[in-house]
Amino acid sequence: MRFYIAGRFHRQASAIFEHIAQDKPAAAHSWLKKLYLRLERIARIPASGRVMSGFRRSDIREVFFGNYRIAYRVKADKVLVLAVMHGSRKIRASEVGAARDEEE
């Protein structure tokens, strides 16, 4: 299965990268490389993530990646990566595009 990235995810990942890079550019590049390796693993085994609690949709899942959460939607032929944010944050449906069918 292939993965596709929503615009929201891209913006969030870029902001996290820039934040890390302010103090540790090499760490930021390493984080980004590991993030994309994690996305490839999600695409290979999409059911590996847990269904996000608080959502009434079984197709919205999440995995933890270090201190971050990656939210994604499993579709018939692809995985749509919706969001990445700090793991301590409570996620609202609007933050992952779960309220509508977002495919930016």
CB atoms within 10 A of CB 21: 15
* pLDDT score recorded for residue 102: 45
Task: Note the pTM of the prediction, 2 decimals.
Answer: 0.86
* pLDDT score recorded for residue 54: 77
Helix axes 25-44, 7-23, angle to 10 degrees: 150
Domain 2-91: give its CATH code. Answer: 3.30.2310.20
Q: If pLDDT is split at 50, 70 and 90, which confidence band does 58 have?
A: confident
CB of 51 closer than 8 Å to CB of 93: no
Rg (alpha carbons) of the chain, rounded to whole number: 13
Sorted by where each begins, the domain ranges of the chain are: 2-91
